[in-house]
Amino acid sequence: MVEEKNIEVIQLAFDHCPIGACIYDADSDLIYVNEAFLKLTKTELRNVEKDKYKTLVHPNDRENVDRRWKAAKETSPFHFDMTYRLSLSDESALWVNVKSNILYQNGVIIGYLDMFQDQTEEKNYEERIITEIMESEDLERRRFANELHDGLGQNLTAAFLNLETIRETMNGLDKDTRDKFNKGVSFINEAITETRSIAHNIMPKAIDDFGFVITVEGMIEGLREVTDIEFTFYHNLEDNRINSTVEFNLYRITQEALNNVLKHSKAKLATIQLLNYKDHVILTIEDDGRGFNLNELGQNLTDFGISSMRNRANSISASMNIDSHINKGTTITIEAPLE
């Protein structure tokens, strides 16, 4: 426990500490920041008052930070250790790791001590590694898809065409033999269709040739044939194309999100929206399904493809926010810079 009379001692200890520090009172009003925090956040002392710190948290991270903070305060023992972004005055983003401790007096909470460490370099390195891994995986998918399409696919097509050339010579054979021949040709034709479908799912060629809008429209048309869910798609791209890397990863995120809608949501309506601005795009995938509690997913993040979607978002320096409530649907929002 830290007695009230020792808070000044804590302040003195952090006055010359290289780790950024803030102290809040029991109402979460800011009462102290040290020089390291001001230097880290490029903030002037007069601008850090009461709840001003909350405005420093990046808009796309505020909801997650608030949720984690509330959960920490309701958990015993108290534990808050989180890495998120701060929005600086020069409009840049700073990744920080924040560890929080409770300050007590006679067993009563009198405040909180937050310690900040710059994680920007580590996060940038992590993003570069994730990007390299994703690009490597996509190159391997592209290679495999091409082999399926150009190798196995063409061989099956050649076999089908050759068999078709001898169909007219089958008239002299008995019906059972002709039926077996026709069934074999049918199987080959189905294999050709399946091979093309697998190759397209592994690495959709349409995204390279036609872009996000036409490819998503085609995906939605295919989904309408196998589900009663009503899909709507809005965009303001018109005939414009966005960066190919951003475009491809947004498509993969959309594909994963719609797969979740089909498998888990029990939704009646799903909406995809892509809005193009001067320096960024915002992708939103929303459904009216049964929703879920993100905090309770635990290890199921991989099963739901959320980890994969976050990795793809990170690989293009995009933010990703998931808003889901039981029986109230799910909204996934991706904001990606266009640099």
pLDDT of res. 230 = 93
Angstrom distance (rounded) from CA 36 to CA 100: 16
User: Do 4-118 and 207-339 have matching folds?
Assistant: no
5: pLDDT strictly greater than 50: no
Q: Which of 68-82, 125-139, 163-177, 314-328 has the lowest mean pLDDT?
A: 125-139
Instruction: Give me the sign of the Cα torsion angle 9, 32, 83, 79.
Output: positive
Q: How far is CA 93 from CA 26, 80, 81, 82, 272, in A?
A: 28, 21, 19, 16, 27
In sequence order, the β-bridge partners of residue 109 are: 104
Confidence of residue 288 (pLDDT cuts 50, 70, 90): very high
CA 11 → CA 28, 35, 116, distances in Å? 17, 11, 15
Nearest of 86, 2, 102 to residue 38 by alpha carbon = 86
pLDDT in tens, 8-40: 777 777 888 888 888 888 887 788 888 888 888
Q: Residue 159 and residue 192: Cα distance in Å, rounded?
A: 10
Lowest mean pLDDT among 52-66, 251-265, 304-318: 52-66
Task: State the average pLDDT for the chain.
Answer: 80
pLDDT mean over 98-114:
84
Res 2 pLDDT > 50: no
CATH number for the domain running over 207-339: 3.30.565.10
| 309 Cβ contact list (under 8 Å, min separation 6) | 253, 256, 257, 320, 332
Indicate whether 233 pLDDT > 80.
yes
| pLDDT tens per residue, range 235-277 | 998 778 888 888 888 988 998 898 889 888 889 999 999 999 8
Q: What is the mean pLDDT of residues 279-288?
A: 93
- Residue boundaries of the structural domains of the chain: 4-118, 121-203, 207-339
Buried b (16+ CB within 10 A) or exposed e, 158-191: eebeebeeeeeeeeeeeeeeeeeeeeeeeebeeb
Handedness of CA 124, 129, 131, 132 (dihedral sign): positive
CATH class of segment(s) 4-118 = alpha beta
